[in-house]
Amino acid sequence: MSLIIPSVFGNMGLLDPFRSSSNDVVSSFANTQVDWKETPESHVFKADLPGLKKEEVKVEVEDGQVLQISGERSIEKEDKNDTWHRVERGRGKFLRRFRLPENAKLDEVKASLENGVLTVTVPKLPEKKPEVKSVEITG
């Protein structure tokens, strides 16, 4: 007598940790998360982009005060003799857009990529203080 246990994976069969399929592609890179903090002097955006070169990342300021950060991590080149067992590192395109406040100095935006962290600094315009005019009192 033999016991037949249905697969909990449906038609997929058993999961083999040494076998990869196109369904195993991790797209976490496409969901790049960005931190945005405001200091008294500027707005600072930080994004983790491990393994990317500065040539693979674009930082743009569009009309309408929109900061756009985009890039792409490509699939590693394959050699005909290579056998892939697992593909887990995120890859793909990403695009993040942020509407900047009116006090942003758009002509002074700076960006740097260091140790896989992109930092975009958007300086702020100085606060306009209301002009106070003294009025002489007569009488």
Contact status, residue 106 vs residue 121, Cβ threshold 8 Å: no
Which comes out higher in pLDDT, residue 76 or 43?
A: 43
Q: What is the SS3 string spanning 5-20?
A: CCCCCHHHCCCCCCCC
pTM equals 0.68
Share of the chain above pLDDT 70, in %: 77
Q: Does the structure show a pLDDT above 60 at 15? A: no
Q: What are phi and psi of 38, to 5 degrees?
A: -115, 130
The pLDDT value recorded for residue 60 is 96
The model's confidence at residue 29, banded by pLDDT at 50, 70 and 90, is low
Which comes out higher in pLDDT, residue 3 or 109?
A: 109
The model's confidence at residue 30, banded by pLDDT at 50, 70 and 90, is low
| 36-75+91-122 CATH | 2.60.40.790
Cβ neighbours for 33, distance < 8 A, ≥ 6 positions apart: 47, 48
- Each domain of the chain, given as residue ranges in start order, spans 36-75+91-122
The pLDDT value recorded for residue 20 is 40
